[in-house]
Structure 1
C-alpha cells in the first residue's frame, strides 16, 4: 500500500493553516491512491502539534523531535527522507511556502521522484494528475508522472478545503540523529515583526500599493483611502524593504497570504512572481498600472492603465 505522506508546516510551535489544507487535499485522493494517510510533524512541540493534525482521514501521525521549533531545511529534508524510506509513500505533499520550497526539491532529487510546485489542482484518473499555472499564469497545465514510484508536490495555500475535525490517529515517533546532519543551523531566537494591528490573512478587501506609489509621503494618503473605502492596506515587498510600511502589510511569498480576500485592488504593483503567490487566487483582482505589459494584468479580473493618483482623486471624491 503506497499511501500518502503530508509534511505538517508549523511556525514557532504553532500549526499553520496550510497544514489542514494539505491534509484535506490528501483526503480527496486517498481512496484512489490507496494505502494510509500519514502526517509528519517536526519540531520541539510535537505533542500539541500532533493533536492539531489529528484530523478526519489521517491514519497515523509520525513525529520527529528536535531541539527547537525553528525551521531548518536540512533537518526537514532528512526527516522526510527517514519517513519515506520507512513507509515508501507514493505521494508526498508539502506546502508551497518559503519553508516548503526550501526542502521539497531536495527530497524529490534524493528519491528520484516526480516533482511539481505551486499545485492548485489534484486528481487521480488512473494516474495522478497535478494542475499548476504556466506561461505567467496564462494557462493551467496538467502534469502526470509516468514511471515514477513516488511524487513530491508543493500545494498552493488557500486553495484546498481543510480537513474536518474528528480524527484519532495514533502517534509514532521516528528516531533521527540530528547531530549527524551536516550544515544544520543552530537557532538563537525568533524576533516577531513589528505589529501594526492588522491581519492581512483575514481581510476580505485589500487595497495594496507597490513601487508606483513613488515615495513614502504618499503612503499616508493611500492608507487613509483604504480606510475610507473599507479596505485593509497591503503592499508589495519593495515598500517594506524601503521601510515605508511594517512587514505585517506585505502580501506575497515572503509576506502574508491573502487567504480570506474576496476583492484585491492592486495599485502601482507590477506583479512579480513572489507577490502573485500571495494574491493570485483571489476571486476578483483589480489591477491599476500604467504599464500595459505588467505581469499583474495576467491574473487580474479587471485592469486599467489610468494613473493611480488620478484614480485616488476620483475615489476620494466619490467616498467623501
Structure 2
C-alpha cells in the first residue's frame, strides 16, 4: 500500500497538524505493509523531514508555491499523485487544506473523508469521524482506493512518530497551463490578545466546578506559574467569563499539549474530542464518578477551590 502525505509549512516550520498526521500514515504502513512518501513545497521543511521514517521525501520548487495559492497547490499535488499513484493521500485538517483539498478531490474524482479523528485497522481500514458536534462517532469502512483523508489536530501524537533516515528528491514544476483566477488575501493574523492554544505545551482548563467568575484569578495565576495557558469548556465561555478563543472541544479549538490540567470538568464528549491527544492529562474533580477520570494519567478527587491555592503555594516555594 502506497501512502502519500502532504506536509504543510507554517513560516518555515512543520505544521503541527501535518506532523501528527504523519503518525497516522506510519500506523497504516505498519499494519498494511507499504511505503510512506511525503511531499512539501518548502526545502527547509523537506530537510527537517529527513529525520523521520519515510521512504522518500519530494520537494517542489517554484515561486508560485512560496505562498498559499490553491490552484498552484492543486496542480503540484496532482502531478505528485499521478507520479506515485498512491492508495491513500493524507493531509492535516488545517484551514488551508479545508480550502483546496476538496477541489483536488473533485478534480481527480477521488473520495475524500475529512476531519477524521482515528483509525481502526482490521480486515478493512476504518476511519473514525465525529458527527453532530461530537455527539456521535461514526466508522467509515474503506474497501476501494485511492482515497483522500484529513486528520483533526490532536488525533495522533507527534512525539510517537518513528524516526529514521530518508532522502529528498527536489524538482522544479511547470505551471504554464495553470490559469490562476484565485488570489488569496494576506495571511490572517490573530489579535495579540488572542491565544493560539494549539501551540501551547501546558494548558490549565476550567469547567463549571470553578463556581463563579470571581474564582478565575487563581486559575490565571496557576497557569502563569506553570508557564501555560488558560482554556475552558463551553459553559464558561457561554457564561461570558472567558473569550471564545479559550474554548476547547468540538465547537472550539483542538489541542495536544504536553500537559493538560482539567479543573472541575466532568469530561463531556464534546470537550474530550478537543484534547484527547494530550500527552499527560491531570484531572481534579470532587466527583469521583466524573467520566473525565477515565482519561486521566493522574487523578485527584477533591475541591479545586481548595487544591488550586495549595498548588500555587507549592510552586511559589
User: Any idea what SS the aligned residue of 1:314 has?
Assistant: helix
RMSD: 4.7
Structure 2 residue 277 is matched with structure 1 residue 281: yes
| Cα deviation 1:176-207 (Å, max 9, x = unaligned) | 359613323153x6646538999764535x32
- Counting matched residue pairs gives 296
C-alpha separation in 1, matches of 2:247 and 2:67: 22
What residue in structure 2 maps to residue 291 of structure 1? none
Give 1:16 shift: 1.9
Closer/same/farther in 2, CA of residues 191 and 3 from structure 1, 3 Å limit = same
Partners of 2:145 and 2:153 in 1: CA distance: 26
Name the SS for the 2:142 alignment partner: coil
Q: Using structure 1 for the length normalisation, give the TM-score.
A: 0.67
By how many angstroms is 1:155 displaced? Answer: 2.1
Please name the residue that 1:50 is paired with: 46
**Correspondence 1:1-320 to 2 at 5 A:** 3-30=2-29, 36-42=35-41, 46-54=42-50, 55-63=52-60, 65-67=62-64, 69-116=66-113, 117-121=115-119, 123=121, 125=123, 127-133=124-130, 141-146=138-143, 148-158=144-154, 159-160=156-157, 161-177=160-176, 180-187=179-186, 191=189, 193-194=191-192, 201=199, 203-204=201-202, 206-209=203-206, 219-226=216-223, 230=226, 232-236=228-232, 251=248, 255=253, 257-261=255-259, 263-265=260-262, 277-282=273-278, 284=281, 286=283, 301=294, 313-316=305-308, 318-319=310-311
1:195 and 1:68 mapped to 2: Cα distance? Answer: 31
Distance 2:284 2:107 in 1: 41
Measured at CA, do residues 184 and 317 of structure 1 come closer, stay the same or move farther in structure 2, by a change above 3 Å?
A: closer
